[in-house]
């Protein structure tokens, strides 16, 4: 850490990594700790990187291997070097120039062709933010999840460490200047420097947390039932999914599950009319005399809707409400309980009891997660004094992050398992604790802008309410990082929508189930790197500014391209295989895609891809049956890591997972080599996961291979002229014992 003078103020610089600089400016010698840092949403710098300090008169410079930060003691300008361009920031105070908590202004000149992304769900009109003005303030529907992180195509990003309301003017008023303006708060921000936006997002999530892995079931299909349903209707829905052969994993219950509608208190109970549990049984009972037993028997898990107006900050502060002092009432004629203590205006919060404590009984009954409604958490509380000390202008943006933090950590500490905590409201750091959905805005095209903007902020587990009334809505909803369908006040159950739509839901449900090994492996990549499962083209192809306006096409992981709603598809360079029809499209242009019968959009496979798939299941945790499939679309060298773990615990964070490396090598016109390595565990320990199985290899090729060999010996294979698939089997016994290499010759 280096501390010095900046134009009669004090500046403090930390170097958490060689390419990250944490900068604070203060009028005094003290530097106020922000709540994001105090509550460990932003990770504290434990071991600073080594840097070289150079002082040349009033010029100060700190340098790591590649990057540097410098300033003149008599100026307000901070200069960062080593990235694609030199970055100059001018920092100043607001409201009389004081710095303690009185606002600030950061000005950054923009390069002529610089493109800027991020800021979360502050609006849904575009992914590229240049020319826009964004306000960092949560509002219901209008701005569910602003995130004060901006990433540039010129090799830098900035995280503003502030929870007060502030704005980003991104070359709107001035075409060549970015202005960050706050009326309250201290100057505290992080600068990230790297060669690509992917790397910068990775650095940002190093500081604010990597995306959390959801439980295995959450990557299947979640069906949220009608609020009027009771236990019998719920179980009937469960039975119908099984009888109609539609994969389904989780049933969600809306506010009607509570005895008191929209119960904000710690006294919530099951509705005795709709979800009767015999009164003589324990409060957390889940045995054969309850509907929880029947849910388990059919392979379902469930989530519960919650609303919250609890003061979470007593627990976060680790404090208890001071006990009232004893008072004398000598001389009073009447003395009753109304005089027993001081008056607490907050009638919901029990300051000495964590919020999650009252939810444990529902977890005992099998709740795998909770849907956190926007109710109250997106609203302003102008008369609130949180934990007896913080005003709402500092807490408002922070509240949703603390909410999911306490929910996720409470569940983890109580059970040791992952949970499906999902919310429409978020801020910096939410990705490390919870999933999100696009709120009460349906499943239309604008929600994809939400999901894409989340990707630019390192938040992977983003989704929306699937629209089952159109094939396009079904296609889009099933091809997101996680999938849920809401029937809160409608009857959009698949079997009530007519044969055509029910059939499409069934087909897409099975498609998603079959893609689980691929999707789960991509979710794991996100949890390790911060690179989201849904990836905008402008993130995957950073040198293509023409992709900045593409809001109808995205990559789903490394290999799949999804087109939704508008079928004028922008395809990057290379060949693209239609997953549904087998047709090949040449990229590098926009094509008019014709949706196949029974589908709702485009699903294309990138040339040079390996996909691992499974047989569709009734639910993902059903007993594994059948072989895994390795689907190959050759043409370029590539790799894929199949990730497997227990699907429920956080052991993956400590290496408790298995990986099987696969790759295409020596790709050319005459053939290629498919390599499949032995399955290994990251920590070298045995894992209680599914045993390895045979791999069915299906290679899409328009030419029948002349030969396929392994270790110099010919391999029997078949070739289907109609499907253009060359097929053979890799026996479990073989790939269990050694790395295998299959040479395909044309």
Beta-strand relationship, 87-93 and 568-571: unpaired
Q: What's the whole-number average pLDDT of the chain?
A: 95
Q: Check: CB of residue 318 under 8 Å from CB of residue 261.
A: no
Task: Please return the burial class of 176, using the count of CB atoms within 10 Å of its CB with bins 0-12, 13-18 and 19+.
Answer: exposed
- Strand, helix or coil for residue 314: helix
Exposure class string for 710-746: b at 16+ Cβ within 10 A, else e: beeeebebeeeeeebbbebebeeeebeeeebbbbbee
Which position has the token pair 């990775």?
A: 202
Mean pLDDT for the stretch of residues 700-724: 97
pLDDT digits (tens, 9 = 90+) for 98-111: 667 889 999 999 99
pLDDT of residue 47: 86
Nearest CA to 286 out of 348, 368, 172 is that of 368
pLDDT of residue 325: 67
- Strand, helix or coil for residue 162: coil
- The radius of gyration of the chain's CA atoms, rounded to the nearest angstrom, is 28
Nearest CA to 211 out of 221, 222, 202 is that of 202
Residue 96 lies in a domain: yes
E-strand stretches of 572-608? 575-578, 584-586, 589-592, 602-606
Q: In which band, very low, low, confident or very high, does the pLDDT at 510 lie, cut at 50, 70 and 90?
A: very high
Sign of CA dihedral 131, 135, 140, 145: positive
pLDDT digits (tens, 9 = 90+) for 190-232: 999 999 999 999 999 999 999 999 999 999 999 999 999 999 9
pLDDT digits (tens, 9 = 90+) for 627-658: 999 999 999 999 999 999 999 999 999 999 99
Residue 209 lies in a domain: no
Mean pLDDT for the stretch of residues 500-515: 98
pLDDT digits (tens, 9 = 90+) for 683-704: 988 888 888 899 999 999 999 9
Task: Please return the burial class of 73, using the count of CB atoms within 10 Å of its CB with bins 0-12, 13-18 and 19+.
Answer: middle
Gap between the Cα atoms of 587 and 56, Å rounded: 54
Residue 364 lies in a domain: no
pLDDT of residue 28: 83
Number of helices (H), then strands (E), belonging to the chain: the values are: 14, 46
Q: What are phi and psi of 571, to 5 degrees?
A: -110, 125
Residues in the chain: 746
Residue 398 lies in a domain: no
- Strand, helix or coil for residue 509: helix
pLDDT of residue 336: 75
The residues near 382 (Cβ < 8 Å, ≥ 6 apart) are: 392
Q: In which band, very low, low, confident or very high, does the pLDDT at 326 lie, cut at 50, 70 and 90?
A: low
Task: Please return the burial class of 187, using the count of CB atoms within 10 Å of its CB with bins 0-12, 13-18 and 19+.
Answer: buried
Angle at 713 between CA 708 and CA 718, to 5 degrees: 35
H/E element, 556: strand 553-556
Looking at the chain, the whole-number percentage of residues with pLDDT higher than 90 is 91
Domain total in the chain: 2
367 compared with 344, residue with greater pLDDT: 367
- Strand, helix or coil for residue 735: helix
E-strand stretches of 636-717? 638-644, 658-668, 671-676, 680-681, 695-700, 707-710, 713-714
Q: In which band, very low, low, confident or very high, does the pLDDT at 329 lie, cut at 50, 70 and 90?
A: confident
E-strand stretches of 155-195? 156-160, 166-170, 177-182, 187-193
Residue 404 lies in a domain: no
List the domain range (segments joined by +) for residue 734: 626-746
- Which two structure tokens, joined as six digits, stand for 356? 């999650």
The residues near 38 (Cβ < 8 Å, ≥ 6 apart) are: none
Nearest CA to 513 out of 215, 214, 213, 221 is that of 221
Gap between the Cα atoms of 143 and 121, Å rounded: 6
Gap between the Cα atoms of 463 and 533, Å rounded: 11
pLDDT digits (tens, 9 = 90+) for 570-591: 999 999 999 999 999 999 999 9
- Strand, helix or coil for residue 339: helix
In this predicted structure, the answer to whether residue 233 has a pLDDT above a threshold of 90 is: yes
Gap between the Cα atoms of 394 and 398, Å rounded: 7
Mean pLDDT for the stretch of residues 322-341: 72
Domain boundary among 145, 178, 193: 193
Beta bridge partners of 372: 306
Domain boundary among 193, 212, 244: 193
- CATH number of the domain that residue 134 is part of: 2.60.40.1760
Residue 702 lies in a domain: yes
Gap between the Cα atoms of 511 and 66, Å rounded: 46
Gap between the Cα atoms of 272 and 249, Å rounded: 26
The residues near 510 (Cβ < 8 Å, ≥ 6 apart) are: 247, 616
H/E element, 119: strand 116-121
Question: CA torsion angle for 190, 459, 443, 578 (degrees, to 10)?
Answer: 120
Gap between the Cα atoms of 164 and 396, Å rounded: 8
Angle at 727 between CA 724 and CA 732, to 5 degrees: 155
H/E element, 252: strand 250-253
pLDDT digits (tens, 9 = 90+) for 240-255: 999 999 999 999 999 9
In this predicted structure, the answer to whether residue 532 has a pLDDT above a threshold of 70 is: yes
Domain boundary among 163, 193, 223: 193
pLDDT of residue 660: 97
Nearest CA to 658 out of 605, 740, 735 is that of 735
- CATH number of the domain that residue 634 is part of: 2.60.40.1180
Residue 509 lies in a domain: no
Mean pLDDT for the stretch of residues 250-278: 96
Gap between the Cα atoms of 13 and 58, Å rounded: 16
Residue 578 lies in a domain: no
pLDDT digits (tens, 9 = 90+) for 360-370: 999 999 999 99
- Strand, helix or coil for residue 671: strand
- Which two structure tokens, joined as six digits, stand for 370? 């909770």
Nearest CA to 619 out of 365, 248, 294, 328 is that of 248
């Amino acid at each position: 850490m280096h501390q010095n003078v900046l134009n009669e103020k004090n500046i403090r610089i930390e170097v958490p990594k060689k390419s990250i600089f944490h900068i604070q400016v203060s009028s005094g010698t003290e530097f106020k700790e922000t709540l994001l840092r105090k509550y460990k949403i932003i990770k504290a710098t434990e071991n600073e990187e080594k840097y070289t300090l150079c002082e040349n008169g009033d010029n100060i410079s700190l340098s790591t291997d590649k990057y540097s930060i410098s300033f003149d003691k008599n100026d307000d300008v901070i200069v960062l070097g080593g990235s694609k361009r030199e970055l100059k920031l001018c920092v100043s105070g607001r409201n009389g120039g004081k710095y303690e908590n009185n606002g600030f202004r950061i000005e950054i000149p923009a390069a002529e062709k610089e493109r800027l992304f991020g800021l979360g769900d502050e609006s849904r009109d575009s992914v590229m933010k240049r020319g826009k003005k964004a306000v960092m303030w949560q509002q219901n529907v209008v701005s569910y999840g602003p995130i004060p992180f901006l990433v540039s195509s010129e090799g830098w990003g900035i995280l503003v460490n502030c929870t007060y309301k502030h704005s980003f003017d991104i070359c709107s008023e001035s075409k060549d200047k970015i202005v960050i303006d706050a009326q309250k708060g201290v100057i505290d921000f992080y600068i990230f420097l790297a060669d690509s936006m992917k790397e910068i997002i990775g650095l940002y999530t190093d500081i604010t947390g990597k995306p959390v892995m959801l439980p295995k079931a959450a990557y299947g299909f979640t069906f949220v039932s009608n609020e009027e349903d009771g236990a019998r209707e719920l179980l009937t829905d469960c039975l119908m999914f099984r009888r109609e052969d539609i994969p389904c994993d989780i049933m969600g219950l809306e506010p009607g599950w509570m005895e008191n509608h929209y119960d904000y208190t710690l006294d919530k109970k099951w509705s005795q009319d709709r979800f009767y549990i015999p009164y003589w049984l324990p409060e957390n009972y889940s045995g054969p005399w309850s509907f929880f037993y029947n849910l388990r028997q059919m392979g379902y898990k469930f989530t519960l809707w919650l609303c919250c107006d609890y003061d979470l900050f007593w627990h976060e502060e680790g404090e208890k409400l001071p006990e009232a002092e004893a008072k004398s009432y000598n001389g009073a004629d009447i003395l009753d309980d109304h005089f027993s203590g001081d008056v607490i205006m907050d009638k919901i919060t029990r300051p000495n009891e964590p919020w999650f404590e009252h939810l444990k009984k529902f977890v005992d009954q099998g709740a795998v997660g909770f849907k956190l409604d926007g109710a109250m958490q997106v609203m302003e509380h102008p008369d609130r004094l949180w934990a007896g000390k913080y005003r709402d202008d500092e807490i408002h943006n922070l509240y949703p992050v603390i909410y999911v933090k306490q929910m996720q950590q409470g569940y983890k500490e109580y059970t040791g398992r992952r949970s499906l905590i999902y919310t429409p409201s978020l801020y910096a750091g939410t990705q490390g604790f919870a999933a999100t959905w696009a709120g009460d805005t349906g499943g239309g095209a604008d929600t994809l802008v939400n999901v894409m903007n989340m990707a630019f902020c390192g938040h992977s587990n983003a989704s929306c309410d699937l629209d089952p009334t159109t094939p396009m809505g079904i296609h889009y909803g099933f091809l997101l990082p996680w999938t849920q369908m809401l029937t809160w006040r409608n009857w959009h159950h698949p079997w009530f929508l007519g044969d055509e739509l029910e059939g499409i839901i069934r087909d897409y449900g099975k498609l998603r189930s079959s893609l689980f090994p691929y999707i789960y492996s991509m979710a794991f990549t996100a949890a390790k790197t911060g690179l989201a499962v849904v990836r905008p083209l402008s993130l995957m192809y950073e040198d293509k500014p023409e992709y900045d306006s593409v809001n109808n096409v995205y990559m789903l992981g490394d290999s799949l391209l999804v087109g939704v709603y508008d079928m004028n598809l922008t395809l990057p360079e290379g060949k693209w295989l239609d997953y549904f029809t087998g047709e090949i499209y040449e990229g590098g242009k926009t094509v008019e895609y014709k949706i196949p019968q029974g589908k709702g959009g485009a699903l294309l496979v990138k040339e040079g891809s390996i996909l691992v798939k499974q047989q569709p299941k009734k639910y993902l945790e059903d007993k594994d049956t059948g072989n895994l499939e390795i689907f190959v679309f050759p043409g370029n060298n590539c790799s894929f890591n199949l990730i497997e773990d227990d699907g429920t615990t956080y052991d993956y964070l400590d290496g408790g997972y298995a990986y099987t490396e696969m790759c295409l090598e020596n790709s050319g016109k005459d053939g290629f080599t498919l390599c499949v390595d032995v399955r290994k565990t990251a920590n070298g320990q045995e894992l209680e996961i599914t045993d390895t199985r045979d791999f069915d290899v299906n290679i899409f090729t328009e030419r029948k291979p002349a030969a396929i060999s392994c270790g110099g010996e010919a391999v029997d294979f078949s070739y289907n002229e109609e499907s253009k698939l060359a097929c053979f089997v890799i026996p479990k016994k073989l790939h269990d014992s050694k790395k295998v290499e299959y040479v395909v010759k044309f």
